[in-house]
Amino acid sequence: MLNNFGPWLGCLVLFRGVASSILPRANDNANGHQWINHDAVVPFTQSAADGLGGDLELRFNPYLWVSGGCDPYPAVDGEGNLGAGLKPTGGGRSGCGAGGKGQVYARRGMSNDRNGIMYSYYTPKVRWAKGDSNGHRHYWASVVVWVNRWGCDEEDITSIWPVGVSYTTDHLNWGTSSAAGGDISFRAADVGLNMPTHAKMQIHDNAMSPFKNADGENIFERTLISWESLPTLAKDALTDVRYEKTQVPFNDANFQAQMDAAYQEAFFVGVAPSKCDPVEGPKKVDTPDDPPVTATTRVPKPQSTDA
């Protein structure tokens, strides 16, 4: 009689194996949304915000080189399905080295009456040393490009330039580099205005830092989707999801706290606040009653460029 259950038992074992490969740890909560394999999440095509705001998002979209660890992947699709991530096992790039153009999430905001644009990248896992305990499923890294406008011509996007760049060095810790101090390099886009406005960055496992080496095919912009352009189902998923070890830095609950943590007054020394209309777009969101813990760190030494 037990022989009759053989095929069913085989299916059960197979199902449990497949399910365990996509189910996140117990404390990652999709809050009613669906987890799917990280490499099955369909990215959005490029969609910046309307008007000047979207032009700015594209003008300052960083060029990113992955010098170690996972490629950026899309975190959510148009139906609100979320990438389930990967267990932090194997090599740093095992199972997550084919992100291609990935996705970068852009949102404009302000801190201390100054304008910045946050660019955020999702990776399905992160490891910062050997051993499964030195990493976790899901990770968000971010860059904030702080900008200033010289002049009041709203139609002249070329009057807006970066003054500094903040970037996550480890989870919610921020490092900073001044555009004027030579700490960070910029390059022109391959298309459009031939102006060096795109910060050159690298990510090595959990840490972002400026990239100063020669350009090549491995440093490029990721496909940009603006917070304003996300469809409702995707925006709801990024608002509702709760990761155990990381957070969506640009949703309404976290965005302002992260902008304030990334802000560096030194970027604007000698730069008078603009008397023109602000360029940040929508008004800043209110900080929740219990904002996330954040910190600002000194600029770290760039990571090794050995892939």
Q: 121-168 pLDDT, tens per residue? A: 999 999 988 776 789 999 999 999 999 998 888 788 999 999 999 999
Q: How confident is the model at residue 107 (pLDDT cuts 50, 70, 90)?
A: very high
Neighbours of 139 (CB within 10 A): 26
pLDDT at 275 over 80: no
Which of 75-89, 182-196, 206-220 comes out lowest in average pLDDT? 182-196
Burial class (CB in 10 A: 0-12, 13-18, 19+), 156: exposed
113: left (phi over 0), alpha (psi -120 to 50) or beta: left
Place of tokens 């409702």: 232
Place of tokens 């449990």: 16
Which of 7-11, 52-56, 106-110, 298-302 comes out lowest in average pLDDT? 298-302
Pairing type for strands 114-127 and 135-149 reads: antiparallel
Average pLDDT over residues 209-235: 95
Q: Which long-range contacts (CB under 8 A, 24 or more apart) does 276-280 make?
A: 276/149, 276/151, 276/152, 276/154, 277/154, 278/110, 278/115, 279/52, 279/53, 279/56, 279/108, 279/115, 279/147, 279/149, 279/160, 280/53, 280/108, 280/109, 280/110, 280/115, 280/116
Q: Is the pTM of the predicted complex or chain greater than 0.85?
A: no
Query: What is the pLDDT, as a whole number, of residue 290?
Result: 40
pLDDT digits (tens, 9 = 90+) for 38-90: 999 999 999 999 999 999 999 999 999 999 999 999 999 999 999 999 999 98
Average pLDDT over residues 92-109: 96
Q: How confident is the model at residue 280 (pLDDT cuts 50, 70, 90)?
A: low
Task: Give the whole-number percent of the chain exceeding pLDDT 70.
Answer: 79
Which of residues 244 and 276 earns the better pLDDT score?
244
Question: CB neighbours of 196 closer than 8 A, spacing ≥ 6?
Answer: 186, 187, 188
Query: What is the pLDDT, as a whole number, of residue 192?
Result: 66
